[in-house]
Structure 1
């Protein structure tokens, strides 16, 4: 069960779904987790809903929401700028802090892929976020895109697209770019994209990704805990990106690589990931305080 909610982000109304834990007592405040969707996706993404069910079952208040320009939220459709999504995440934290069911000092964020990069950056610049989980995220947009467009011919095609997009912007025009010209995904994996995902984006999205560097702020998260998850062989977001985040982070930070799964790491079948996340939360960000032992 959830409640349909809206909240303000820089003058735009964002659409969300608020999930309260089933055993929440009257007047009780619980820790909360905001779950961030991926690139051009929405709050109804299967990964988002799976993470929401997990966190709610563990006793957290959970907010999943559509970033501006996505799903049912206001904003220019498909204009998913990294910096705007960081602002949306911080405004989601402010919304959670305003709720009587939420402990305002205990709010975490979790994101996958694009949403993971946003989660890490938001935690790096906003100390109100007291824990962060990144799934198949990235730390340096330009390096990531170079890795994704591997080989001189592929990178030259990408550079030609960037040159054309910049020339059009200089003339006051925009340009739509295919999702797969920005982030290549093997054809056999494209069916895993969430329903309602955008297939084209304005060129400004490419520029935003090129300049976005969570690596620059991930070290600021400490001493708050950070959990980095990534497939050991990721054909969408290179595994080296989470390794780079870990190298730039400070303790307490953990990096876990998983074999036998490619990019879409959260699934009901992947109990290893779900169990690890559950144990990490119990250790670093418990939903409820353990009862004091009798003297």
Structure 2
């Protein structure tokens, strides 16, 4: 199996990105339904570009469609990336999974499989949007959204131009054991249809979940899912990530199961790509993602 892996080491300096939205891109709220429940998303279209390529953006666990925000990245990771893509001729759709943000449903009914279902429906929706090119759709996912992306890439009947994973969940049971602890994983898995308030270790916040969520952490295996996708893949990781670790070892292991063009991009930052400190690495990541999407958009 031929591999084309490039590991980009940390480099000094900051890539300057233009993030001005109002004058150069049209942003609108859109919706579609899955099992009679509404999913809400934000679509950003580049100004003056007919039938642009488009990227579907999938947020992580407990996130929303703008993704993780901080004082340094107030608009959120996806909210910051979308206008940059639009400035460079790429449309985007970022959605709230059911149970999150403005979409219908309760968070405790969410599972990895329901998020896969939502993402597949989002691809179907994009294929019907006349303003974008249905033959040039890409996908990117952050954290749990990255794990979901591996499954969607492998299961979708709609060909994807490329897939981008930002610190994706690679070994989901291990990652969520880090988040909740071993006791919660055992008790949560046995909770059936009852709500189990799993307490997040790092901040003590209770998060309502049901047994089916924990079961799907074991039944959806990103390495197995990605074997069914052979298109271009960009895997971006932080080598100081304490949720998905060790890196870049875990990332390289996932890539061993992907048979196709691929790149590995790594920086010495945490799960949020350093956004709690500043936007330096985030902007470099957005630029790298843009270049990858552009390289595989034709």
With the length of structure 2 as denominator, give the TM-score of the two structures: 0.78
* Equivalent in 24, 42, 63 of residue 64 of structure 2: 42
Equivalent pair of 1:142/1:211 in contact (CA under 8 Å)? no
Q: In the alignment, what sits opposite 2:184?
A: 161
Q: Residue deviations 1:232-275, cap 9 Å, x none?
A: 2211221243222111111211112112x211128542243233
Match status 1:273 vs 2:285:
yes
SS class of match (2:47): coil
Question: Structure 2: where are the runs of 5+ without partners?
Answer: 1-25, 68-75
Mapped partners of 1:164, 1:220: distance in 2: 33
Question: Aligned pair in 2 of structure 1 residues 53, 78: CA closer, same or farther (>3 Å)?
Answer: farther
After alignment, is 228-237 or 201-210 more displaced? 201-210
Equivalent pair of 1:138/1:241 in contact (CA under 8 Å)? no
Match status 1:253 vs 2:262:
yes
1:178-193 aligned within 5 A: 178=199, 180-181=200-201, 185=202
Q: What's the RMSD between the two structures over aligned residues?
A: 2.3
1:29-178 aligned within 5 A: 29-45=51-67, 46-128=76-158, 129-145=160-176, 148=178, 158=182, 160-169=183-192, 173-178=194-199
Match status 1:18 vs 2:40:
no
Mapped partners of 1:72, 1:64: distance in 2: 12
Judging by fraction of residues, say which structure has more helix: 1
Match status 1:7 vs 2:32:
yes
Mapped partners of 1:8, 1:266: distance in 2: 35
Q: In the alignment, what sits opposite 2:209?
A: 202
Q: Residue deviations 1:57-97, cap 9 Å, x none?
A: 22112111110011111112343311111111110011111
Question: Aligned pair in 2 of structure 1 residues 48, 199: CA closer, same or farther (>3 Å)?
Answer: farther
How far apart are 1:226 and its partner, in Å? 0.7
Equivalent pair of 1:226/1:252 in contact (CA under 8 Å)? yes
Mapped partners of 2:121, 2:264: distance in 1: 28
Equivalent pair of 2:65/2:95 in contact (CA under 8 Å)? yes
Question: Aligned pair in 2 of structure 1 residues 266, 117: CA closer, same or farther (>3 Å)?
Answer: farther
State the number of aligned residues: 257
Q: Residue deviations 1:175-229, cap 9 Å, x none?
A: 2212x24xxx4x6xx9xxxxxxx8513133222223321110212211x111100
Whose relative contact order is higher, 1 or 2, with alpha carbons under 8 Å and at least 6 apart? 2
Question: Aligned pair in 2 of structure 1 residues 144, 241: CA closer, same or farther (>3 Å)?
Answer: farther
Equivalent pair of 2:161/2:296 in contact (CA under 8 Å)? no
